């Protein structure tokens, strides 16, 4: 799959929510480079501005100051259609559509030139990519939570987005399902050549999946630390049990705790 994946730069992004009662600095001077095909996780406690940051990067929210550059050009000047694929914490499938039709929705909107048959056969392909072959005619409520999330991932992949935005996509799943989906994502990322920005509050998940972990702290939402994850891709499942893995997780946990306590004092 040869295609151009853009470079994304966040420059001094600040976002301030102003309401009658409070003046919240949700994101405070965040700068970050997302090089093509990189896998970056953003981690931090609730309220540290992770999701807000994601919304600013995708143009859903406008920053109070600072800018997002896509290949050097301001986000606002770009046509963003087809640029970002989304996977949210909840699968958000359309309950009246089968798994296949849910995935086909992407092509239905983004590529209207395709015939219905082509759309469905393509959707079939993307369902098989996430190992859901055989479930295409099931309605969402007939699928387990993990399967629904696979459909949601498949729907995002069907866009073949240069950048995949994942907002705590596995947070609502049980541990076994979560691990199998993590493995799945690792395998897919190796194949798809997509930049991934992955928001999570699980340290081990961030370490397992990403090349870089951006540690954020709340009030105001700031980057505290950017940790490079040294493990080579493709990563195997058994990485979870290795001492190096445990050490790195431990290290990031300690940093988060330290930040928390200094903040409590302040």
Partner 1 sequence: MDTERIARIAGQIGVFVAFFVLWEVLVRVTGMKPVILPPPSLIFVTIVKQWPYLLQHAWPTIFAIIGGFLVAAVSGFVLAVGIAYSRWINELVYPFLIVSQVLPKIALAPLFLIWFGFGVMPKLVIAALIAFFPIVVNTARGLNSVEPELVQYMRSLGASWADIFFKISLPWAMPYIFASFKISITLAVVGVVVGEFVASDTGLGYVIEYANISLETPVMFAGIFVLSLLGVLFFLVILLLEAVTMSWQTEISETPETM
Q: Of these, 65, 76, 94, 260, which contacts partner 1 (CB under 8 A)? A: 94
* CB closer to partner 1, 93 vs 248: 93
| φ, ψ dihedrals at 249, nearest 5° | -60, -45
Concatenating the DSSP letter of every residue in 167-235 gives ESTTTTS-HHHHHHHHHHHHHHHHHH--EEEEEES-HHHHHHH-SEEEEEETTTTEEEEEEE--PPSSP
User: Is residue 92 a contact residue for partner 1 (CB under 8 A)?
Assistant: yes
**61: nearest Cα among 45, 75, 81, 43:** 75
Q: Of these, 39, 88, 126, 189, which contacts partner 1 (CB under 8 A)? A: 88
Strand partners, 227: 213
CB 259, CB 44: distance < 8 Å:
no
First to last CA, the chain: 50
Please tell me the count of residues contacting partner 1 according to CB under 8 A. 24
User: Is residue 105 a contact residue for partner 1 (CB under 8 A)?
Assistant: yes
User: Is residue 80 a contact residue for partner 1 (CB under 8 A)?
Assistant: yes
Contact track, partner 1, 109-148, x by CB under 8 A: xx----------------------------x-x-------
User: Is residue 82 a contact residue for partner 1 (CB under 8 A)?
Assistant: yes
Q: Which stretch binds partner 1 (CB under 8 A): 89-97, 125-133, 206-214, 250-258?
A: 89-97
List of residues contacting partner 1 (CB under 8 A): 58, 60, 79-86, 88, 90, 92, 94-96, 105-106, 108-110, 139, 141, 159
């Amino acid at each position: 799959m040869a295609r151009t994946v853009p470079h994304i730069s966040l420059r001094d992004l600040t976002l301030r929510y102003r309401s009658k009662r409070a003046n919240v600095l949700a994101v405070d001077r965040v700068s970050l480079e997302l090089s093509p095909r990189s896998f970056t996780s953003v981690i931090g406690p609730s309220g540290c501005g992770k999701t807000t940051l994601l919304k600013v990067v995708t143009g859903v929210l406008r920053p109070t100051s600072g800018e997002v550059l896509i290949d050097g050009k301001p986000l606002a000047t770009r046509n963003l259609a087809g640029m970002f694929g989304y996977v949210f914490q909840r699968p958000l499938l359309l309950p009246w559509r089968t798994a296949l039709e849910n995935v086909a929705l992407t092509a239905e909107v983004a590529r209207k030139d395709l015939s219905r048959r082509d759309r469905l056969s393509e959707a079939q392909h993307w369902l098989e990519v996430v190992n859901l072959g055989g479930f295409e005619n099931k309605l969402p409520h007939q699928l387990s939570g993990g399967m629904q999330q696979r459909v949601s991932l498949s729907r995002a992949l069907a866009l073949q987005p240069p950048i995949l935005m994942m907002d705590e996509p596995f947070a609502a799943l049980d541990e076994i399902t979560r691990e199998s989906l993590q493995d799945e994502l690792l395998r897919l990322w190796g194949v798809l050549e997509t930049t991934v920005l992955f928001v999570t509050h699980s340290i081990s998940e961030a370490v397992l999946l990403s090349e870089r972990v951006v540690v954020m702290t709340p009030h105001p939402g700031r980057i505290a630390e950017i940790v490079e994850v040294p493990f080579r891709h493709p990563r195997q499942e058994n990485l979870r049990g290795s001492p190096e893995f445990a050490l790195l997780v431990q290290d990031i946990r300690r940093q988060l705790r330290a930040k928390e306590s200094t903040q409590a004092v302040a």
